[in-house]
Structure 1
Amino acid sequence: MTMWTKNPVKLKPEERKELKQLITKGAEKARKITRARILLLAHEGKTDTHIIEALKTARNTIRAVRSRYIQEGL
């Protein structure tokens, strides 16, 4: 069940592809890979609570990543 969120993430197909490649290659810093995973999970409609449990990250990090994407894109 998808829950409402203040900053819903709607990735473009090319953005999803770019993020998936970034994760698969694993050549980036862990912080950047975590941000990519947050965006992909958020795009799938996962709640912040689900993302926290899946990635073991802080709610503030998730909110910041969502907000930054909404304001600036990738």
Structure 2
Amino acid sequence: MPADQGGPVLAPTLSEWLKAREETARHLAASTSRTVDEEWVQRLADLLATERSWQDQYTELVALGSSDGRFPTSNR
């Protein structure tokens, strides 16, 4: 669905989500101390918020193709 129709657009969100995951992985790989710096904690919080947003948007897009327009509930 095009952005001008008010539907979800995944490309920008997905790009930022992947970028945040890469930054987090680099931080964890380079960390030599047991303390966590506040800047990294903020980036992780942003990553988690972005991931949630991305999941919600993806779910909306997938639901568009279903017969009732809704994403099915999980069996778990």
With structure 2 as the length reference, what TM-score do the two structures score? 0.30
- When Rg is computed on C-alpha atoms for both structures, the one with the higher figure is 2
Relative contact order, CA 8 A, sep 6+: which one is greater?
1
